[in-house]
Amino acid sequence: MRIDIKTAVDFLRENDDYLILMHASPDGDTLGSGSALCLALQKLGKRAKAVCPDVIPHRFDYLFKAIEPMDFEHKNVVCVDIADTKLLAEMKSTGDAAQLAIDHHSSHKDFAKKEYVEPESAACCELIYAVIKELGVTIDKDIASCLYTGIATDTGCFKFTNVTPRTHSIAAELIANGADFGAINYAMFVVKTQGRIKLEQETLKNIQFFADGKVAVITASLALIDSLPDIDTDDIGALANIPREIAGVEIGICVKEKKAGVFKASLRTSDNFDAAEIAQNFGGGGHARAAGCSFNGTTMEKAVEKIVKASVEAVEKQK
């Protein structure tokens, strides 16, 4: 059932023993949302813990340092930045029993008893910010840094067209409240490990262009990923942005091999194309400018062929 912010806040205020779920292959928005909400609930005297089905990349460790470890049996599951419980991997059944979901994806599929969804928000952290304010919790430096991380990463450091005046207003308040924006921006958008540089070098060797250069695709096989022990899931996820950094490319694709026969395609598009619409052809989804889908029981070549075909068809429709 879709609800408003007041109903969501009333639920959080009236209950306790919260398990906050963040999606697999975590990004800054789900991690920032989960950590900020957990901190806020703990400040209210609630028992709360934030859990991710995947290993959290080390560059996000700072988000969880202020959270008090708690051991309890959860009674209420809250999902943040999760459009579909398929994104919870082995924790899908836990997500299917969620009492509350807070999300900003236009492709959100209702699964929780209560759904607070605002697709016009640039990041889920914008919604978590509003929830925390309504709860009456003071946004301190730790919470501000969590929220700033989610907003900055989901807007490409405020470069994407999902940014609104409200996005900047919230970010300004978070900075005023102590968000360590300089260190966060450096960690999220500047510094790269040697492993990531090597990974980018190798994937750029196989880049392919289609539709007169409007579609570009790179691939990362399991063999390549396994040959670079100094990379983590965060390094692999960052590959998705590379094709769209090339002049003239309007649909950028990265196809990664997750395990034998299982591939994930990540799409990034210009304002002229809807990434989620392309991904939905294969059971995926996401945002208008950033989306993804999976291909199971196939080969890298077949997965690339399918996603490229759908992307080229989208370009042809624009002619």
Q: 255: which 2 tokens?
A: 């196809």
**CATH class of the structural domain 5-189:** alpha beta
Q: 61: which 2 tokens?
A: 């460790």
pLDDT in tens, 224-271: 999 998 888 888 888 999 999 999 999 999 999 999 999 999 999 999
Range list for CATH 3.90.1640.10 in the chain: 5-189
Range list for CATH 3.10.310.30 in the chain: 194-318
**CATH class of the structural domain 194-318:** alpha beta
Q: What is the pLDDT of residue 286?
A: 86
- With a cut of 50, list the residues of the chain below it in pLDDT: none
**Hunting for tokens 């997500």 — which residue is that?**
95
Q: What is the pLDDT of residue 274?
A: 95
pLDDT in tens, 185-211: 999 999 988 989 999 999 999 999 999
Question: What is the 3-state composition of the chain as percent helix, strand, coil, each rounded to the nearest 5?
Answer: 45, 20, 35
Q: What is the pLDDT of residue 74?
A: 98
CB-count exposure of residue 95 (10 Å: 0-12, 13-18, 19+): buried
Q: 83: which 2 tokens?
A: 């459009």
Report yes or no: 94 and 21 within 8 Å, Cβ to Cβ.
yes
Collapsing DSSP to helix, strand or coil, 161 comes out as coil
Question: What pTM value is reported for the model?
Answer: 0.88
Give 191's DSSP letter.
-
Q: What is the full DSSP assignment across 113-158?
A: SEEEE-TTSS-HHHHHHHHHHHHT----HHHHHHHHHHHHHHTTTT
Rounded to whole angstroms, how far apart are CA atoms 234 and 157? 17
Which one, of 76, 58, 66, 72, lies nearest residue 21 by Cα? 76
Sheet strands side by side (includes 48-51): 48-51, 18-22, 76-80, 100-103, 114-117
Q: What is the pLDDT of residue 265?
A: 97
Q: What is the pLDDT of residue 256?
A: 96
